[in-house]
Structure 1
Amino acid sequence: MTTHNKSSKSLISRRKTFFGIGATLALVGGGGYASYYLSSSPKQRINDYPPQSIRIAWPKSESDSLLAIAQTEGFFEKYALNVTILPNIQNHLQAMDALKQNLCDAAVLSALDWLPELLGGVPARLLVGISGGNFRLLASRKQRIDRLIDLAGLKIATHRHSAKERLFFSILLRRKGLNPEQNIKWVEMEKEELLPALLSNQVQAIIGNDPLMWEILSHANKQVFELAGSQSGSWSSRANRILGMNNQFLNTNPNITTPLALSIRHASKWQTEHLQETSMLLADQLKAMSSKEILAMLKNQNQNIVPINNQLWEQVAQYIDEFKLLGKVPNSLSSSRTARQFCLSIQS
């Protein structure tokens, strides 16, 4: 068999595994969580970590490429981790509810979703960044909009349940001297209504995240353009999604933090080095885009952003500073000290 055939066969196998993860992990639940025996040989493990189990609420896990890679490429297994993903978690509200009800031990949320919960006293700590942001603001080429400040008094549409996207762009607008609550007219729409509303001038800009925004940009690039997003500036190297862990679980499983963070870092590094293969993994899920368009999207996004330790708490402190900018936390609050309290330190 040729190398090419072997590679193709391996990819097909991984794709099959990828799309079976949701159903498989749902079955792992109960008994699998309690009676876990690592199947890989000690030679395949890294640093001989003892077998450990964890349940994670990971929104939209069935289409998450980083999670699929960590599973199918064996990165969790190499660190002797038995990771159970809660089924049917579609958004941050469901993930946080699961964490609060002790239905899971950890959750993956946007930093913009984590902070209000942590500031409100949720007993959890942040361990590792999962990925960078992929927020985009698109405007019509017909409009005389060249800068964010040109949006003053205009309408910006968001899709429903897009609080973090609106919060992100509120921060950008506030930096430019606009009051996002007073100077912008926010409109909520269904996802399929966004582009028609923009092209008909019902709204002057639309916001969201990938893959939706990249799909719109790819298919209507002669009519719309990206005015701002998280791919440049200080946000380009900052984590958006972060994995945080329940304090009670941490107290009884303190040794799981290092292997879990490192397994995610290794999976992220693999993805960065195999974007072509990652695009093929996503092709069956993102049916509205070709694998070529998906690859272009991945290349445009900021890859391998998985901060831990000092890098993580510094980024969390930046988020807290931006919450101050919007008046969501008092200026007297120490961003640095608070971020250190929220974040875990591990030996890497």
Structure 2
Amino acid sequence: MSAQGPSSDTAFRRRLVLTGFAGLAVAGAVSAFEHHAHTHRPRKQPDGQYRKLRLIWANAETAPVLAVAYQKDFFTRYSLDVDTIPSPQNGNEALDALAAGKGEYAVAPALTWLPRLYGGLPASLVLGIQPGAFRLLVRRDANITRLDQLVGRRVAVPDKNAADKFFFAIMMRRKGINAMDGITWTDMPADNVVDAARARTIDALVAHDPLAWQLLNSHADLFSELVGSTTGHYADRTSLVLGAAHTALDADPDAATALTLALRDAAKWANQHRDEAATLVADDTSEVSADTMRAMLRHQPAINPVTGHLLRDQIAQYCDELQLIGLLPDTEAASTIAKRTTRNVLSG
């Protein structure tokens, strides 16, 4: 994906988003899709003003919701011309770019956002876009059938994505396992993981889709999935979250409202049209085939965007869990941290 969006055709369309189309965008925002997709309309509606925004999104080229937002003109419906900043490789890199002022908005996992926000990153979380697809893959010949058998083992973290590691450390902590200290976590480029597993220099790896899905299905003889976030109560929780810099929220709060609505609507559409969303992603990247993306999306949780008090409640749960593994202090209530780090940009 270029800095101008997922494809040249999309970039061209976005160039056509001129002030004269503002009225059409507002009309689109209350189109038949809107009518059927939302039973409760937000109290605050966008003002229809044309805006050009900069969005930072890790691995943006394989993000179905973003592909839908561009190619199905959800950004255009809200009079937005969105430039996606050249793709960071993980959530921390995305937040580094936000802190450096390279964009006004960023998308990263909640587990990556929260330690950074608590540490002083001046931003607020405004939209939970979709649940995570974290997977813990074990080497088939390592004889690992339970989480406690990972203690003392080498577990690879292919893209240095902190959220992958934190998610499974939390899952294990709830079972009384100190994974943060008891496992040898090893940062390792994704290209080296297969060779390392065959050489038995790693016993397992934590990753998220599409990488985890590709490794699991392309090397079924080598890896099996021990646990993941795509089933059970974890599948109902948001993970990928849109945040806005405080400078952007203060200067133009209506811009955050428009972007939140555009991505919310794109997420709902992607969930209802998974096969087509998969095709849109495949059209924009050579990393994942359409068949692979379709199969992957069919095995992922519902893409269910959340805002307002629902987002705040889920963020509070994440805060509580990060406190469990020592990544947030327990001197402050999780609900208080959540209230301070989220904002409802759809309220009147």
- The correspondence of residues 122-137 of structure 1 with structure 2, limited to 5 A, is 122-137=121-136
Look up the match of 1:320: 319
Query: For residue 19 of structure 1, what is the amino acid of its counterpart?
Result: S
CA offset at residue 221 of structure 1? 2.1
Aligned to 1:19: 7
Within 5 Å, give how 1:49-60 maps onto structure 2.
Answer: 49-53=47-51, 54-60=53-59
Does residue 1:184 correspond to 2:183, yes or no? yes
Distance, in Å, in 2 between the alignment partners of 1:22 and 1:186 is 40
What's the counterpart of residue 195 of structure 2?
196
Residues 191-212 of structure 1 deviation map (CA, whole Å, 9 limit, x = unaligned)? 1221232234322211111111
Gap change, CA 1:45 and 1:293, over 3 Å in 2: closer
With a CA cutoff of 8 Å and minimum separation of 6, indicate the structure with the bigger relative contact order. 2
The Cα shift of 1:148 comes to 0.8
Indicate the structure (1 or 2) with the bigger Cα radius of gyration.
1
- What is the percentage of aligned positions where both structures have the same residue? 32
Q: Please, which moves more after superposition, 52-61 or 202-211?
A: 52-61
Q: CA RMSD in A?
A: 2.8
Deviation at 1:52, TM superposition (A): 4.2
Question: Could you tell me how far apart the structure 2 residues matched to 1:276 and 1:114 are?
Answer: 30
Give the unaligned 5+ runs of structure 2.
31-44
Displacement of 1:254 in angstroms is 2.1
Q: Structure 1 CA distance, aligned partners of 2:75 and 2:318?
A: 29
1:48 is displaced (CA, Å) by 7.0
Structure 1 residue 102: Cα displacement: 3.1
Cα distance, 1:137 vs. partner?
0.7
Distance 1:39 1:62, change over 3 A: farther
Indicate if the aligned counterparts of 1:138 and 1:226 stay in contact, CA closer than 8 A: yes
Deviates more, 1:96-105 or 1:241-250: 96-105
Pick closer, same or farther for the CA change 1:143–1:161 going to 2, 3 Å: closer
Distance change (3 Å), C-alpha of 1:316 and 1:21: farther
Check whether the contact 2:315–2:338 (CA below 8 A) recurs between aligned residues. Answer: yes
Note if contact 1:21-1:62 (Cα within 8 Å) is conserved in structure 2.
no
- Tell me if structure 2 keeps the 8 A contact 1:199–1:223: yes
Task: Quickly say closer, same or farther: Cα 1:288–1:263, change in 2 above 3 A.
Answer: closer
Larger CA deviation: 244-253 vs 80-89: 80-89
* Correspondence for 2:21: 38
Q: Say if 1:21 and 1:68, in contact at 8 Å, map to a contact too.
A: no
Distance in structure 1 (CA, Å) of the matches to 2:159 and 2:272: 34
- The question of whether the paired residues in 2 share the 8 Å contact of 1:198 and 1:206 is answered with no
Q: Which whole-Å CA distance do the structure 2 matches of 1:208 and 1:149 have between them?
A: 19
- Closer, same or farther in 2 for the Cα pair 1:45/1:205, shift >3 Å? closer
Report the equivalent of 1:164: 163
Which portions of structure 1, spanning 4 or more consecutive aligned residues, are displaced by more than 6 angstroms?
21-25
Q: Distance in 2 between matches of 1:175 and 1:112?
A: 16
- Give the aligned residue type for 1:101: A
- Does the CA contact (< 8 Å) of 1:76 and 1:82 recur in 2? yes
Q: Which residue of 1 aligns with 2:36?
A: none
After superposition, residues 256-271 of structure 1 pair within 5 angstroms as: 256-271=255-270
Aligned-partner Cα distance in 1 for 2:305–2:323 = 25
2:135 counterpart SS class: strand
User: What does 1:214-229 correspond to in 2, within 5 Å?
Assistant: 214-229=213-228
Q: Deviations over 1:4-55 (max 9, x none)?
A: xxxxxxxxxxxxx843379769x97xxx99x855367364343673214232
